[in-house]
A and B are shown apart, each in its own frame.
Chain A
C-alpha cells in the first residue's frame, strides 16, 4: 500500500468517524441525562437525511405528518396525566408545544416546499421536523416510564426503533435517496481533496464536542441535566424539572442525529434502515467512552471510522463483522477494569 491510499483511507475514516462521533455524543448525552440507551438515534439520522432529500425534490416528507400525529398523542397524554389539576395555563402551554408547533411546521413545509427552495430552508425544515419528533418521542414513550430501570428503558428504546424504522419504510419507500451537497467548494492539499461537505462535517463535529463540553461543565442547565441523571428524586427535591431535562436531552439528540444525516446524505445513498447501522457504530464509540466521556467517545468514533475504512479496503466482505466485533475486546477491558460491586435496583 502506498502513502496516497493510506491517506485516502485515513481521510475517509476520519470523515465517517466524525459522523459516528456526533452520534456517539448524542447517545452519551441522552444516556447521561435520562439513562435511556437511544437505539432510535439511527432513525433520527435517516429521518433527517431523507426528509431533507425529499424536500430537495419538492415533496413533503411523511415525517411532517408524523410530527403532528405524535404531537396530538403527547397533548392527550399531558391532559390525561394532569387531569386532576387542569388549569388553563397548563393546557395552553401544552397545546402550544404539542399542537400549534407541529401543525405550524406542517403548514410551513407545505407553503415553502418546491424544487427551487433554498438548501438552507430545506435543512431548517428537516431539522425542525426531526426535533419535534424527538421531543414528542420522549414525552410519549419514555416520560411515563422514566423512573424504571435501564433495562426496561432499553427495551422500550428498541420498541421505538422498530416502530420508527417501519414508519420510515412507509414514508420514504424501500429505495435509497441522495440529497444535494451543502456546498460544492473544494480545497486540495497534496494528493488529498477536501470537499466543502467533509470540511462541514469536521467543523460541526468539533463545534458540538466543545459546545457540549462547555454546556455540561459550566452552565447551570447543564449541571441540572447531569444531576437528573444521577438521582431523579434528588434532582426533583432541589427544584430541577426532570421531565424538562429529558425533553432537552432528546431535543438535542434528535437535532444532532438529523444534522448528521443531512451531512452524509450528499455523500452516500441512505435507505430507510441505514440509520440503525450508522447509529450502532456511534454506539460502539459511546461504549468505548464508557457512556460518560465526550472526548473519549469522539476519539473512539474516529478510531471506529478508520478501522472501518481500512477493513473495507483489505477485507471488504468482513467490514461490518470487524467493526461490530471491535466492541468485544473493549467490553472485556471494561469488565476487567471495573469489577461490579454496586447492586442493581429495580
Chain B
C-alpha cells in the first residue's frame, strides 16, 4: 500500500485541479496536452529507456489511432467508445508489421528505419483520399457518457488523465515482473538474456507493440479532444519531439515521461509566445531552443530530470524482501539413465581461416567437476559458446544426456538443464542483485505480459523471487541482495552470475573464469560451494586460470592449446604431463 501512496496522492491532486475556482481554462488545455504527450512518451520510456530501442516514429502510431476513430465515427457513425478497441488494434497491427521488419535491426539501423517509415506514413496520411488528404477529417463526435458530452477541455481532461494514470500503473506493473525483467535485460545485449531462455526478438516486439498501442490511445484521445485529425501532428517533427520529451524526463523512468511532457509542453507554450519578440514574427522558432536544449541535455545530464529530482528525496522507497519459505517446483528432469551428462565429439569451430576449436572431444559425467584449462586463446570460451548454442559448431556432435543438441539456440540449450556464467560479466547494472538473479529463473515461471500488467502474476512472481533470494543466500551475497548489480565489485558480480545460473535449477553448470577477481578467502568459499553442489548431484564444467584453485577442486582436467585437446586426466596426471608443461611454459631449453 505504501508503494501506491504517491500514485494515489498524484491522482487526487490531478482530480482536484479542474475544480479549483477561477483556474484559467487555458491551463486545463495545457494539462490535456501534457497528458496526451505523456502517454506517447511512456511508450517510448519502455521502448527506448528500458528496452534500448530508439524510435523517432511514434507520432505515426498516434496517427493510426486518431485516423481509425476519425474514419469509423464520421463515415460509419460508430460510437467513439466502440472505436477505442479498433484504434488500439490498428496501431497494434501496424506495430506488428513494422516491428517484424525493423525490431531485429541492430543499434542505429532501427532509429533510421523509424525516421524513414515515420515520414513515409506522414505522406501516406496526407495523400489518401479517404483520410481527407492534407485537410484531414473534421466533425469527429466528442466522447460522451449517456447524455454528457465531453466537449470542453475540462470534461475530456478526466478521460485523458485516467488513461495516463492507468497506463502508468500497468507499465510499472509490467516492469516489475518476469516479462519486465526480460525487457530490462534487452538494453545490455541479448546474449545473457537468451542464455536463460528469454526469447529476445519476441520481447522486443512486445515493447514495440506496447509503445505503439499507448501512442494509438493518445491518438484516439487526441482525435476526440480536437474533434479533427490532420496529418501535421503525426509527422517526423512530432516523432522527434516525443523522443525529446522522454529524454528530458529521464528515458528510463515511467514518471519521467509525465514530467518530461510537462516540461516540454509548458516550455513550448512559453517559447511560442516570447520567441517571436526576439526574432520577429516567425512561427516554429521553439524548435531552435528545443534542438539546442536536447544537445546540451545529452552533454550535461544524459539521464534526464526525473532521476535528478528523485535523488533529492529525503527518503528512499523501501523494497519488499521476498518470502523465502515459498518453494518453486524443480524443473522437470529429462529422463536419462546414462551417467554421461555432456558428450562432445569432434566439435569444431572455424572463423574464416582460423580454427578456434579443432575437433575437440570430451565428456562430463554426472556428479563431476571438470576443468577446462589452457593458455589464452586456446578456445575455452569458444567451446563454452558452442555448448550453450551462442555459436553454431562448424562440425561435430554435442549431446546432453544422450540427446543431440544440433546447434539449438541458447534458449533451447538452457531447457536441457545447462546454465552458464560469462567470462565478461553480463549483468544488468541498473537492476538489483535480486532482479538480476531472478532472470535465471525465467523459464521456471510462466506469467505473460498481460497477467503481469494486471498483477495476476503475484503468486508465480513471489515464488520466482523466493528462489532467487535462496540462491543469493546460498552463494553468500544476502547482504547485497537489494544493491544495484553495477555497484558490486567485479568478483561479487561473478558470484551473482553463479547465483543466476543456479536459478535455472541446472544439471550442468558452466562457469567461465569464476574465480577471477576473487580474494583468497572468497575463492575458498567458492570452491566449497562448488563441491557442495557436486555432492548434491550437479556437475560443473569450469574454465579457470588459477591453477591452485583448479588442481584443488577438479575431479578431471581437459587441456586445450590452440583449439586442440592436448591432454585429459586427473589433476595429478596433468601436473606432470610434458605436453601441458610445454604449452604453458614453452619447450625446455
Residue B188 interfacial (CB < 8 Å): yes
Residue A170 interfacial (CB < 8 Å): yes
Q: Which of A13-21, A145-153, A193-201, A227-235 forms contacts with chain B?
A: A145-153
A321: contacting residue among B127, B191, B294, CB under 8 A: B127
* C-alpha spacing A159/B294, complex, angstroms: 5
| Neighbouring A residues of B298 by C-beta, 8 Å | 145, 148, 152, 155-156, 159
CB distance from A277 to the nearest CB of B (A): 8
A 121-165 contacts with B by CB, 8 A: 140-141, 144-145, 148-152, 154-156, 158-165
* C-alpha spacing A144/B302, complex, angstroms: 12
Residue B562 interfacial (CB < 8 Å): no
CB distance from B134 to the nearest CB of A (A): 11
| Neighbouring A residues of B52 by C-beta, 8 Å | 151, 344
The interface residues of chain A, by DSSP majority, are classed as: helix
CB distance from A18 to the nearest CB of B (A): 21
* C-alpha spacing A170/B108, complex, angstroms: 31
Question: Which B-chain residue is minimally distant from A320 (CB atoms)?
Answer: B123
* C-alpha spacing A261/B389, complex, angstroms: 51
B116: contacting residue among A164, A167, A169, A284, CB under 8 A: A284
Known: A163-B287, A343-B189. A327 touches B294 (CB 8 A): no
CB distance from A343 to the nearest CB of B (A): 4
* C-alpha spacing A149/B289, complex, angstroms: 24
Known: A141-B295, A166-B291. A280 touches B119 (CB 8 A): yes
Task: Report whether B282 and A162 are in contact in the complex, using a CB–CB cutoff of 8 Å.
Answer: no
| Neighbouring B residues of A162 by C-beta, 8 Å | 240, 287-288, 290-291, 294
Residue B54 interfacial (CB < 8 Å): yes
Question: Which A-chain residue is minimally distant from B188 (CB atoms)?
Answer: A344
Task: Report whether A154 and B294 are in contact in the complex, using a CB–CB cutoff of 8 Å.
Answer: no
- Produce 1/0 per residue, B126-157, CB < 8 A to A: 01000000000000000000000000000000
Residue B107 interfacial (CB < 8 Å): yes
Residue B284 interfacial (CB < 8 Å): yes
* C-alpha spacing A317/B302, complex, angstroms: 41
| Neighbouring A residues of B112 by C-beta, 8 Å | 37, 283, 287, 327
Known: A166-B288, A320-B119, A325-B117. A158 touches B302 (CB 8 A): no
Q: How many residues of A contact B (CB 8 A)?
A: 54
| Neighbouring B residues of A342 by C-beta, 8 Å | 106
CB distance from A59 to the nearest CB of B (A): 16
Known: A161-B291, A169-B285, A324-B117. A334 touches B124 (CB 8 A): no
Residue A120 interfacial (CB < 8 Å): no
Task: Report whether A155 and B247 are in contact in the complex, using a CB–CB cutoff of 8 Å.
Answer: yes
| Neighbouring A residues of B3 by C-beta, 8 Å | none
Question: Which A-chain residue is minimally distant from B297 (CB atoms)?
Answer: A159
Task: Report whether A37 and B101 are in contact in the complex, using a CB–CB cutoff of 8 Å.
Answer: no
| Neighbouring B residues of A164 by C-beta, 8 Å | 291
Known: A150-B108, A344-B107. A163 touches B116 (CB 8 A): no
| Neighbouring A residues of B243 by C-beta, 8 Å | 155, 158
* C-alpha spacing A265/B130, complex, angstroms: 35
Residue A335 interfacial (CB < 8 Å): yes
The 6 closest A-B pairs by CB, nearest first: A163-B291, A162-B291, A159-B294, A324-B120, A166-B288, A343-B189
Q: Which residues of A contact B (CB under 8 A)?
A: 37, 39, 140-141, 144-145, 148-152, 154-156, 158-167, 169-170, 173-174, 276-277, 280, 283-284, 287, 291, 317-318, 320-321, 323-325, 327-328, 331-332, 334-335, 338, 340, 342-344, 346
CB<8 Å pairs between A and B, sample of 30: A37-B111, A39-B115, A144-B299, A145-B299, A149-B107, A151-B107, A152-B302, A154-B108, A156-B298, A159-B244, A159-B293, A159-B295, A159-B298, A162-B240, A162-B291, A163-B291, A174-B282, A276-B236, A280-B119, A284-B116, A287-B112, A291-B108, A317-B127, A318-B123, A325-B120, A327-B112, A328-B116, A331-B102, A343-B426, A344-B189
